[in-house]
Amino acid sequence: MIVCCGEALIDMLPREIAGEGMGYLPVSGGAVFNTAITLGRLGEKVGFFTGLSTDLFGQQIDDSLAQSNVDASFCKRHDLPTTLAFVKLTDGHAEYAFYDENSAGRMITQTDLPVLSDDVTALHFGAISLIPDPCGSTYEALMVQEAAHRVISFDPNIRPTFIKDEPTYRARMERMLKLADIIKVSDEDLAWLMPGVGFADAARSFIETGASIVLMTKGGEGVDAVTNEGQISVPATKAEVVDTVGAGDSFNGGFLTGLNRQGLLNKEKLARIQNDQLETALRLAADVSAITVSRAGANPPWASEL
């Protein structure tokens, strides 16, 4: 089983209501949530750990996870509210207003950490849930606790406008990067994490501190990957782009699926991964991401669509 650890929230998406004006459609979302449902739809055994509200929006998220075959039993239920992200679109550019104070997702602590069974082979972390506390410290503590025993996948998914305490956040990113077996960054992430450092040099430094696979996604230009075997590049799968919401999250789900189908979600096997095995997983990830961007919103494909 792969357990995804991070935020689940409600995106309040603007919609025109005939004769009424503008309204908002509540849609289950969150970067780590999107990776979890991708894995579930692709047929992987997947669990999800977050702070989940017992309110009506929390029930909506719970239902969405179940519909995509994600095990939510790891989640810590609270009667605190669900995080809401109101979206404003201006010429296609999204601005967000977050309502997250004292939310169920934000307020989880280390006493809420799940007990993981031996069939959990990998954990996936990342995104905005690592910015605030106490949830950021909670996810970091889980990574520290499990890094020696299970594969750690990490997508920082940096959102600079959400970061209020940059030194603390940067220190957390540095610590977590050193614990990860799989690191995926975008070119924007890398520019924030290591200004002026090229991907090859950055990836080599991550490999030297313990990573087995380092990826950099480049949108329509594909993905570069570095391992102990060297560097390879895989082109993006061609698609008619509707929007890019959830593209990177579904890429993560596709990549982990591609590794797991080859029996590679094992720390020792990842350290010895061959380029042909890596390319197989990357091509699946590219195909999954291409379907996601071909339709509106974070709506990753089911296995039958590939």
How high is the pLDDT of residue 82? 97
CATH number of 2-301: 3.40.1190.20
pLDDT in tens, 144-164: 999 999 999 999 999 898 899
How high is the pLDDT of residue 243? 78
In contact, 8 and 32? CB cutoff 8 Å? yes
Six-digit token pair at 49? 């750990």
Q: What global pTM score does this model have?
A: 0.95
Instruction: Please list the ranges in the chain whose pLDDT falls under 70.
Output: 89-94
Residue spans of the domains in the chain: they are 2-301
How high is the pLDDT of residue 16? 85
**Distances 2 to 37, 74, 153, 215 between C-alpha atoms, Å:** 12, 12, 10, 19
Report the candidate in 192, 254, 197 with the shortest Cα–Cα distance to residue 223.
254
How high is the pLDDT of residue 296? 80
How high is the pLDDT of residue 180? 98
pLDDT in tens, 41-96: 999 999 999 999 999 999 999 999 999 999 999 999 999 999 998 887 666 556 77
How high is the pLDDT of residue 91? 63
**Distances 292 to 24, 147, 241 between C-alpha atoms, Å:** 22, 30, 9
